[in-house]
Structure formats: structure tokens, C-alpha cells
Structure 1
């Protein structure tokens, strides 16, 4: 009985997140998810950072590129989400 009540509360808790609202933005009648804009902004901002570091010859600051640029995109995307949609 205790396990059934725990499972029921867990399911209700999980479904309660869907009732608030859909995380989407209406643009000209089409709904786009919030994360799409955040990832686009993160990619564009990291490209600007990459270009500016290359212009100032400081691209060595982000030396293991395979790690730093995906982490930079993720950090900037999450920052944009908190800034604009939270």
C-alpha cells in the first residue's frame, strides 16, 4: 500500500509540470520551442567570441577546442534561457 501511494505521488508530481504552460514562443502563428532560440543565440555568440579571439590573436585561451566550444555554447544557451525565458 505504501509503495502504491509513493508511485501515485511520483506520477502526479511528474504530470504537474505539464499543466503550467508549453515552453514555446508564437512567431507569426507558428510555435517554436524556447530552447531553439537559446541554442541559436549561444552558437552565434560563441562564433562572435571565436572571431574576436582570432582577431586579437588570443585563440589559445580556449585551447582544447573540442571541449571548450561545446561547453561555451551550452553555458551561453543556458544563460540566454535564464535571461529571457525564466
Structure 2
């Protein structure tokens, strides 16, 4: 039973075939997370609320990661 649990990760990798090339799904989620972070950055700039996210070098990568993981959960989670 332990061998079955350990070998369950050896299944095919989740990927999308676009124009004959297979791309991993996390790549699309990462791009979507970065684009979502850019949209949030524009909204915060329009509202003048950049001060609330004090260390931007930490908060924006964290936001991009959060959005990427949420996209994966919504679109690719089995």
C-alpha cells in the first residue's frame, strides 16, 4: 500500500497542448497571477493605496503567488 501511495506521483504531468506543443498548466497560472498582480497594482495606484502594502518587494510576489495558486485551484484542480 505504501508503494502505491509513493508511485501515485508518477502519473502523467498535467499539461495543455497548444499548437502541438505541451505546456505545463502551472505556467499559465503563473502568467495569470502576474497579470492579476499588474491589474491590482494599477488599481492601487489609481486609488493611492500603495502605502498600505508597505514592503512592495514582498507583497507583490506574495500576491502573484496567491493569484497563481487560486487560478490553479479554479481551473485545473481535479
Query: With structure 2 as the length reference, what TM-score do the two structures score?
Result: 0.88
RMSD of aligned C-alpha atoms?
1.5
Counterpart in the other structure of 1:28 = 19
Choose from 34, 39, 43 the match for 1:43. 34
Q: Which runs of 5+ in 2 are unaligned?
A: none
Q: Which portions of structure 1, spanning 4 or more consecutive aligned residues, are displaced by more than 3 angstroms? A: none
- 2:6 & 2:24 partners in 1: Cα distance? 20
Q: What is the number of equivalent residue pairs in this alignment?
A: 77
Choose from 7, 23, 26 the match for 1:15. 7
Choose from 43, 57, 77 the match for 2:48. 57
